[in-house]
Amino acid sequence: MFNTKFRYLFIIIPVLLIVALGGYALFKRYERQQKYERRASNDVIVGTERNESQGEKKILQSIIYSNPIVIPQYESFIIEVYPQILDEARTQNNEQDEATEYGYTSKNIRKYENTKRPINLLFLDNDFGYQRTLLDKKALILDMKMPHEHFSKPNQEGKEDSLQTKAYQQQVRNFPYLLYKIVFEDTNKDGLINQKDAEGFYISNIDGTNLKGIGKNILVTEFELQYEKKRLFLTYFERSKAGLQKQKKFAFYYIENHQFKPLDGIQKALKDAEKILTQ
């Protein structure tokens, strides 16, 4: 009887130890991931702290980045760069392996990418060679639209040579531009560049060159590509020191010559219609 109980204990105790160690390892992994995700941020800190006694800048934020993302129908890739807030400031002479320290895995970075916004883009060629960086100063990219997102892909699975598929591919290839909504300035002066600040509407070539703003001091709420005429139809509000104007406005943006043309005729007609109601 005693020997039987002893054998049971000999089996049970190692099992309990394995379960306990496994549970502890899972808990620590969960704790690291939670800490990592808490530090993930859509906020870009304006400036850095300076250690006056040593004359060194204290770095308050770092970066993480995606795997290369293909631009459909183009033989090129982008890498999205994201901000992360550091638990403790560090100097340029005391860099750490942030990804290793905070449990970087392909799983949690993918989750991070799905909820956060990049601060920059790296453009690569078809052999993953670095070409250029989109931005040369702090900013937050709220949205980006690739060429293929403007067109309806035909439901032709397994029929790559169909006329509809070829037409779709040709449309995408004939619109080699990327559209963005980007915040460049801390307009509310809270020390952060984030979604609370005024955004702008921008366009660049497919390789990240020739980045240009579309309109000035406006908030674009909707846009539609008019492919045949190589222009965008925009719905927007003007900004002033007092904030957004109440009157919705419309404009064309001609892509090839970068011309912004307000549709003043529509604005006049809307004002006339409003007068009729107030008579």
CA atoms of 28 and 16, how far apart (whole Å): 18
What is the pLDDT at residue 103? 41
What is the pLDDT at residue 175? 95
Q: pLDDT tens digits for 57-76?
A: 666 677 888 899 999 999 89
> Is the overall model pTM greater than 0.85, yes or no?
no
8 secondary structure, DSSP code: H
Q: pLDDT tens digits for 191-228?
A: 888 889 999 999 999 999 999 999 999 999 999 999 99
Where do the domains of the chain lie? 1-39, 44-213, 217-279
- As to burial, measured by CB atoms within 10 angstroms (0-12 exposed, 13-18 middle, 19+ buried), residue 118 is buried
Name the stretches of the chain with pLDDT < 70.
Answer: 1-16, 19, 22, 24-41, 47-60, 86-115, 156-161
Structure tokens at 205: 């070539």
Q: Give the three-state DSSP class for 244.
A: strand
Nearest to 177 by CA among 113, 117, 227, 105: 227
CA atoms of 75 and 126, how far apart (whole Å): 5
What is the pLDDT at residue 135? 96
What is the pLDDT at residue 56? 61
CA distance readout (Å), 114 to 40, 110, 255: 12, 6, 30
